[in-house]
Structure 1
Amino acid sequence: MTPLGAKLRKMRAERGIALKDMAAALSVSSAYLSALEHGKRGKPTWFMVQRIIAYFNVIWDEAEEIQRLAEISDPKMTIDTSGLAPEATELTNVLGREMGNLSPEDCKAIKDEVMRRAVRAGGGPQR
């Protein structure tokens, strides 16, 4: 599941909205919406994100959160390490190979450490 998928599922549950009803309102199939929630589809288009925001009738902070989550919800991310240090390529390959063996807590700890080091290095969070 992607961060956006988890948010959509939570919002639907809080409002008692069935997946098929939301899909119909967005003019997409239930299969597409389910795949989007489960991370089996790439991140949605900007237009689809705007339709989701309008569907839930959210504004300001919650709308911005949905947009941010959409940006970080690409389940098939490709990382180009050409021109970087060999350690960058090694890290990328280790993560690619071992990601399925990591717990959610491990993933959060690694993400937090990467973000901490990126901020320290002057890269800043890219959320």
Structure 2
Amino acid sequence: MNKKIISTEKAPGAIGPYSQAVRIGDMIYTSGQIPMNPSTGEMVTEIKAATKQCLENVKAILEVEGAQMSNIIKTTVFLQDMNDFVAMNEVYASYFPQNPPARSAVQVSKLPKDSIVEIEVIASL
């Protein structure tokens, strides 16, 4: 199978030697999306707004390949503070009102650019 690199200006650009996402066949694997506004470069620092920005970045990447949030089969949420879980989950749930994907959520000691949350996904077309 051929590997296709996915890129869009509607999500933050890679800050290292990696792609925003990769498509192999009918599968899309995104890199972790931090809560950076792609238009302004501003880092969102309040957990609900930050979760929304991460998921909007994911959504923009998926749309490049004609995918939607409903195509997501697995997510991983990295939180700087597990005490933010309930607030993150409230926003997260609004993006998956039916048939939510499988998910892992873990607390980590530090995230890129000192973000408070990072979300990566796997989607199937």
- Classify the TM-score, shorter chain: under 0.3
TM-score (norm 2): 0.24
**Which structure carries more helix by proportion?**
1
- Whose Rg is larger? 1
